Structure 1
Amino acid sequence: MSSTSPLSQPVLLVGISGPSSSGKTTLSRLVRDIFPHTSILHLDDFYLTDADIPVKDGIQDWDCVESLHLPDLKNALSFIKENGKSPPDLVSKEDQNSVGEHGVGEKVIEECRERVRRLLEETGWRTPIAIVDGFLLFSNDMAEIRSLFDLRLFLRTSYEIAKRRREARSGYVTLEGFWEDPPGYVDKIVWPNYVKDHAFLFEGRDVEGRLDEKVCEKLDIHGMPREAEESMTKCLLWAISVFEDAVRQATGGKGSS
């Protein structure tokens, strides 16, 4: 976590990142449903206009840092950290995009809500949470953005899972219209970009291998356990534990056993 206690700040700014189709938006929405006073901002809301998206080998590349308006993103995050809420003129188009069934049972969600309710009661935590979900938040090209987060969660997935999930999507609402991946987009654009931007987080630069614990510790990134790759239930339970530890740390361990 950030060295500055969130209790002295108007908001806990959380980054949830990982490859396309790793479950970032789904997890963010589940956490929002469980923790009170939680909002979500999407990296996809900071794309350039459709006409300004860079072209690679004749295909628009929506999965590179050059496709994003980083000054606007930085300004929005700075506003959130100072005011505890998103800029009033920022309207999300990402919320118009569908998210598949998460597969988490209502009983698990209710148990998480009760767990969080007890946590907040024990610790006195009242700080709002602002989640930012995006595919490039922790890349070295966005180191300045990465440093703004108080808490960083990195989701992982395999090539096979990412390809299957991405190709099952119907498309995406964009700033000016609608985008559908052309044939071969995952193999030509999505996965190569992910490898290029995130190999440094893994041992031997193998993005389907083990996360490099030393690198993640240095950057204060919490890596999702590998067994949660195809289970949003396991991913959610892991994330709640990370949030719980962050709250207890910020409140001096109040209520911990």
Structure 2
Amino acid sequence: MDDPKAIVVGISGCSSSGKTTLARILRDIFPNTMILHEDDFYKAETELPTRHGFLDWDCAEAISVPDMEAALDHIRATGTFPASLDSKEDQNSVGKCPVSDAKIDAMKAKVAAWVQPGQPGHALFVERKLRLCLFDGFLMYSAETAGAMKRMDIKLFLLVSREKATQRREARDGYVTLEGFWKDPPGYVEKIVWPNYAKEHAWLFENGDVEGVPDEEVLEKAGISVQTGLGLDVDMETTLEWAVDLIVRELEKKVQAPL
């Protein structure tokens, strides 16, 4: 696209790795920013596959990938959401923010200075009037979603341990769906969530171990950024600062080169 109206930032990782939390904080830090949720492209329950006796919400077959790709095309072309998009994710409960007000204020001040006249951010957000679309989802860097990956300008991947992901997921109240409300049945994380995550993301890690070492060569080739050298379960304050710096750095490249 020669003249996109929005830059898409993908934020992916295992369920409960902090994707949506990070996206919501970033939306308050960067100007002209909106959030698109992969969860808003779920198919109806009657179309979901069944595995181990459970409805499987955590696989590519549960997502309408063509609708997701069409929405990304619309956002990049117009800087707006498709009129037909009805977010269910935004109706889910939000827990206590894991980032201090002081850290958020510091990041807001940093970005505010970056968008002042004469700064790179001003050229993007004020002169070009670009919007930033934060696109969060549990399954965005896989063979099934390769088309969506091509539509992302910046790609972040959040790491998490099996123990932490399970703990966070099992603590959730549940999820608003097209049909009403879904709460994970006992054993769902163990049988569905984690195995699906490990299977789809093994290609991003050395020896296919999603709790092991990220494969930097593979990640670089795919244009996916992760926090390296900090292990799993990095606190959200550190993750937020990393994400802000990365997004600013990548956006500055777009000031120097055609979009």
Alignment of 1:109-188 (within 5 A): 109-121=104-116, 122-123=119-120, 124=122, 125-126=124-125, 127-188=130-191
TM-score (norm 2): 0.92
Structure 1: unaligned runs, 5 residues or longer: none
Q: Which amino acid aligns with 2:70?
A: N
Q: Distance in 1 between matches of 2:227 and 2:27?
A: 18
Q: Which amino acid aligns with 2:81?
A: S
Match of 2:52 in 1: 57
Match of 2:196 in 1: 193
Shift of residue 9 of structure 1?
A: 2.1
Q: Of 7, 16, 19, which aligns to 1:21? A: 16
Q: Distance in 2 between matches of 1:167 and 1:57?
A: 18
Match of 2:96 in 1: 101
Match of 2:248 in 1: 244
Q: Distance in 2 between matches of 1:205 and 1:227?
A: 16
Q: Is the contact between residue 211 and residue 232 of structure 2 (CA under 8 Å) also seen in structure 1?
A: no
Match of 1:220 in 2: 223
Q: Distance in 2 between matches of 1:204 and 1:95?
A: 37
Q: Is the contact between residue 228 and residue 234 of structure 1 (CA under 8 Å) also seen in structure 2?
A: no
Q: Is the contact between residue 161 and residue 232 of structure 2 (CA under 8 Å) also seen in structure 1?
A: no
Q: Distance in 1 between matches of 2:84 and 2:227?
A: 33
SS in structure 2 at match of 1:13:
strand
Q: Which amino acid aligns with 1:167?
A: E
Number of residue pairs the alignment of both structures matches: 248
Q: Is the contact between residue 229 and residue 235 of structure 1 (CA under 8 Å) also seen in structure 2?
A: no
Q: Is the contact between residue 4 and residue 78 of structure 2 (CA under 8 Å) also seen in structure 1?
A: no
Q: Which amino acid aligns with 2:59?
A: C
Larger mean Cα displacement after TM superposition, 234-243 or 218-227: 218-227
Q: Percent identity among equivalent residues?
A: 46
SS in structure 2 at match of 1:170:
coil
Q: Distance in 2 between matches of 1:230 and 1:151?
A: 20
Q: Distance in 1 between matches of 2:64 and 2:150?
A: 17
Match of 1:229 in 2: 233
Shift of residue 133 of structure 1?
A: 0.4
2:199 aligned with 1:204:
no
Q: Is the contact between residue 159 and residue 191 of structure 1 (CA under 8 Å) also seen in structure 2?
A: yes
Q: Which amino acid aligns with 2:174?
A: G
Shift of residue 131 of structure 1?
A: 1.0
Q: Which amino acid aligns with 1:177?
A: G
Q: Distance in 1 between matches of 2:21 and 2:159?
A: 14
Q: Which amino acid aligns with 1:156?
A: L
Shift of residue 252 of structure 1?
A: 2.4
TM-score (norm 1): 0.93
Q: Distance in 2 between matches of 1:205 and 1:99?
A: 32
